[in-house]
Structure 1
Amino acid sequence: MSDRVAVVTGASRGIGAATALVLAQQGFRVVVNYRSSAPEAEEVVRAAAAAGGEAVAIRADVTAPDDVAAMFEHTNRRWGRVDVLVHNALIPYDVTSFADLSWEQLGGKLERELHAAFLVTKAVVPGMISRSYGRLIFLTTVLSRRPRDGMITLGTAKAAMDQFVRYVALEVAPHGITANLVSPATVATATPDALLEAGEVRRLGATNPMGRLVRPEEVAKTVAFLASEDSGFTTGHCLEVNGGLAMD
Structure 2
Amino acid sequence: MTGEGARVALVTGAGSGIGAATAGVLAERGMRVVVNYLSNTEAADAVVAGIEAAGGRAMAVRADVREPAAVEDMVGRVRAAWGGVDVLVHNALIPYTVKPFQEMTWEELGGKLDAEMRSAFAVTKAVLPAMTAQGWGRIVYLGTNLSRRPREGMIALGTSKAALEQFARYLAQELGPLGITVNVVSPGPVETRVAADVLDDATRQRQVAATPLGRLAHPADVARAVAFFADEDNVFMTGTTAAVNGGMAMY
TM-score normalised by length of structure 1: 0.97
Q: Does 1:27 align with 2:18?
A: no
Cα drift, residue 196 of structure 1: 2.8
Q: Match for 1:109 among 97, 107, 112?
A: 112
Cα drift, residue 90 of structure 1: 0.2
Q: Does 1:56 align with 2:59?
A: yes
Cα drift, residue 127 of structure 1: 1.4
Name the residue aligned to 2:190: 187
Distance in 2 (alpha carbons) for counterparts of 1:232 and 1:32: 25
Cα drift, residue 200 of structure 1: 2.0
Matched to 2:141, the amino acid is F
Matches within 5 A, 1:29-108: 29-108=32-111
Matches within 5 A, 1:117-156: 117-156=120-159
Cα drift, residue 136 of structure 1: 0.2
Q: Contact conserved, 1:135 with 1:227, CA < 8 A, in 2?
A: yes
Cα drift, residue 148 of structure 1: 1.0
Unaligned runs of 5+ residues in structure 1 are: none
Question: Which stretches of structure 1, 4 residues or more, deviate above 3 A after TM superposition?
Answer: none
Cα drift, residue 137 of structure 1: 0.2
Matched to 1:57, the amino acid is A
**SS of corresponding position for 2:27:** helix
**SS of corresponding position for 1:187:** coil
Q: Does 1:216 align with 2:219?
A: yes
Cα drift, residue 34 of structure 1: 0.3
**SS of corresponding position for 1:82:** coil
Name the residue aligned to 2:233: 230
Cα drift, residue 206 of structure 1: 3.0
Distance in 1 (alpha carbons) for counterparts of 2:176 and 2:134: 13
Cα drift, residue 197 of structure 1: 2.4
Cα drift, residue 29 of structure 1: 0.3
**SS of corresponding position for 1:136:** strand
Distance in 2 (alpha carbons) for counterparts of 1:51 and 1:59: 23
Name the residue aligned to 2:17: 14
Name the residue aligned to 2:167: 164
Cα drift, residue 149 of structure 1: 0.9
Distance in 1 (alpha carbons) for counterparts of 2:82 and 2:215: 39
Cα drift, residue 210 of structure 1: 1.5
> What does the per-residue CA deviation read over 1:215-248, in whole Å, with 9 as the maximum and x for residues that have no partner?
1111111111111011011100001111111111
Distance in 1 (alpha carbons) for counterparts of 2:155 and 2:120: 19
Distance in 2 (alpha carbons) for counterparts of 1:125 and 1:117: 12
Distance in 2 (alpha carbons) for counterparts of 1:99 and 1:89: 27
Matched to 2:145, the amino acid is V
Distance in 2 (alpha carbons) for counterparts of 1:225 and 1:133: 15
Cα drift, residue 185 of structure 1: 0.9
Q: Contact conserved, 1:6 with 1:86, CA < 8 A, in 2?
A: yes
* Root-mean-square deviation over aligned CA pairs: 1.1
Matched to 1:114, the amino acid is M
Q: Contact conserved, 1:192 with 1:201, CA < 8 A, in 2?
A: no
Unaligned runs of 5+ residues in structure 2 are: none
> What does the per-residue CA deviation read over 1:10-69, in whole Å, with 9 as the maximum and x for residues that have no partner?
000000000000111111000000001110100000110111110000000100111111
